[in-house]
Structure 1
Amino acid sequence: MSAPPASAASDAAEQLPRIRSALDRLVSYKQGESVRSPEGHTFPLSANESPYEPIPAVVQAIHEAALGINRYPDNSCTDLISEISARFAVPEDTIAVGCGSVGVSQMLLEAVAEPGGEVLYAWRSFEAYPILTRLSGATPVEVPLKDEAHDLDAMAAAITDRTRLIFICNPNNPTGTVISRSDIETFLDRVPADCLVVIDEAYIEYVHDDEAPDGLTLRPGRPNVVVLRTFSKAYGLAGLRIGFAVGHPTVVEALRKAFLPFSVNGVAQAAAIAALRSEEALIARVETTVKERERVHHALTEQGWRLSSSSANFLWLQLGDQALAFARHCAATGVAIRPFAGEGVRVSIGSPAENDAFLAASATFPTTPSHP
């Protein structure tokens, strides 16, 4: 049998596997860049992380759990779910755990989204929403922010019979704004009962606004409401990737079916339990961050910057076309922040020294801070 012509062999070698067309429209999630000053200093203020090392009880739990990593973790997260249930006074069958709040969001979309369906959210908001939506096969529907906050009237008007899920990020990432209880209740009353509403409260521990609700108190009587929480921010476990959702038992059962087996490792589960049991120490750290947030906000105002209040562990500067230039200016001093081209920059609240480094950089930016 004769060999195929060289040209045919070449064409076959160049043929590639078929990739989903949805990926053509995706922009991969990009982690904040690591930068360093000429003197070798680095101040990581781009990822909304806790600036504090794990507390001793968490370190001890991690050490003990690490001795068992030759075994698979508890796929049902039984002990952690029991601890979450006790801490937040919610039944165990209303709790689902996942690999960070992003992992739980993906589980939610896998449970309810499908080709032809729509997922609705404010924009700009959490960067993972459009990525996860397109990966689920659903169509993203983005509703522009109004005064840096969710425009709930416009979002309600955008709901159709194809809407399967609505994300509400409260406080909103990256602007830090919050929705009041009365406004969100009015919105929820306008959402069809068969449409899932996910209240993403990744930053709830940093909220000091009496008008802002605890999403868990909005759930009674609303089977279509799910509340999303994470251990990455206030609990300081970003590197272990663990989050959870609280919702109606039927929804939670669907989430557990969409769970990637063993994706929440045993070390993460043990650390989360220890963190919940050490909450008093962790909340003291949160209060320090809140005080630093207000200090940095005041200092920026004194420098001439105009910015809205934040209820999260970061601040938002709406800089428009100056966003990238400002980020490069900060990077030259070793301060890493998160720029969004043409819109603004998000600055995480770190340790006092890290915050001072940012304030020194912002004070020397050559352009007059004239944007709102």
Structure 2
Amino acid sequence: MTSPRLRPALDSIPAYKAGKPPATSAQRSYKLSSNENPYPPLPGVVDTVTSAAQSLNRYPDMAAGALHSALADKLGVDVGMLATGAGSVAVLYHLLQAACSDGDEVVYAWRSFEAYPIAVRVTGARDVQVGLTPDARHDLSAMRDAVTAATKVVIVCTPNNPTGPVAHRDELLDLLDGVPPDVIVVIDEAYREFVADPDAIDGLEAAAGRDNVVVLRTFSKAYGLAGLRVGYAVAPPPIADAIRKCALPFGVSHVAQAAAIASLEAEPA
């Protein structure tokens, strides 16, 4: 009996392990494993969501034009540098689909975000995992040394999920200077709003003037919109365009776009 022919690369892909739900509704529990914001969105954002829900019969703006404009104004970047998706992890998936194929390599620290091995291997690429330092930080020198002619992408998660430390200014800039210009470096800043380390560097500052650096951010954590799934990349225009080409059509709902815009508008100028 023959079986459907699926891609061999799928055999090596681990299942993503989400945080466990409460064992019983009668038991008070505190779910920490998914790093969810314990506070709901701002009341004004909830009101915006309620209003936006009246248009659920319509497809969202696939280009996310209003959200891109709001982000461009907030971040001081060109609209052509933006790409959005159903969470920053979706944007990472689209980027890896655009950049990687069978035989390519992607370098990242381990342990780090559990989705990285899945996102890499589903493209057919090979993940190169570089161990953390004894104090649970990225070994950025070792990551730079792990880059080969087959490397297409390097991922830096800062602050690192799940260990917490950030990449410091000098070491991150050294990595960016040492990576070949045809290798994409992804700075995953899902938790950037929680950074207090004075030696940290903002990803957009690190990426400025570089044609191979992508910054990922999300509305899931600090903004409390994990259930709506909206994240984005700030990237050089050719890379942002490639991400958008690989994106799922209508992947960010109208409600999610409206909530993200309202969250940005609620921030101090």
CA-CA distance at 1:54 after TM superposition: 1.8
The ranges of structure 1 where at least 4 consecutive aligned residues each deviate by more than 6 angstroms after the TM superposition are: none
| Aligned counterpart for 1:268 among listed residues 231, 243, 256 | 256
> Given the two structures, how large is their TM-score scaled by the length of structure 1?
0.70
The count of corresponding residues between Structure 1 and Structure 2 is: 267
Mapped partners of 2:208, 2:242: distance in 1: 19
Q: Which amino acid aligns with 2:194?
A: Y
Once the two structures are overlaid, the 10-residue window that deviates more, 55-64 or 161-170, is 55-64
User: How high is the sequence identity, in percent, across the aligned residues?
Assistant: 51
Mapped partners of 2:3, 2:168: distance in 1: 51
Check whether the contact 2:159–2:192 (CA below 8 A) recurs between aligned residues: yes
The correspondence of residues 1-372 of structure 1 with structure 2, limited to 5 A, is: 11=1, 15-36=2-23, 40-147=27-134, 148-280=136-268
Structure (1 or 2) with the larger CA radius of gyration = 1
Gaps of 5+ in 2: none
CA-CA distance at 1:16 after TM superposition: 2.1
Check whether the contact 2:14–2:117 (CA below 8 A) recurs between aligned residues: no
Gaps of 5+ in 1: 1-10, 281-372
Computed over aligned residues only, the root mean square deviation of the Cα atoms, in angstroms, reads 1.3
> Given the two structures, how large is their TM-score scaled by the length of structure 2?
0.96
Mapped partners of 1:112, 1:20: distance in 2: 19
Helix, strand or coil for the counterpart of 1:149?
coil
Helix, strand or coil for the counterpart of 2:55?
coil
CA-CA distance at 1:35 after TM superposition: 3.0
CA-CA distance at 1:189 after TM superposition: 0.6
Mapped partners of 1:236, 1:35: distance in 2: 20
Helix, strand or coil for the counterpart of 1:75?
coil
Mapped partners of 1:184, 1:42: distance in 2: 38
Post-superposition Cα deviations, 1:197-256, rounded to whole Å, max 9, x if no partner, equal 000000000001111000001122211001000000001000001000001011111111
Higher relative contact order (CA 8 A, sep 6+): 2
Mapped partners of 1:190, 1:36: distance in 2: 48
Q: Which amino acid aligns with 1:69?
A: L
CA-CA distance at 1:55 after TM superposition: 1.3
CA-CA distance at 1:279 after TM superposition: 2.3
Post-superposition Cα deviations, 1:20-52, rounded to whole Å, max 9, x if no partner, equal 211111111011112347962121222101101
Mapped partners of 2:72, 2:194: distance in 1: 21
Mapped partners of 1:206, 1:27: distance in 2: 29
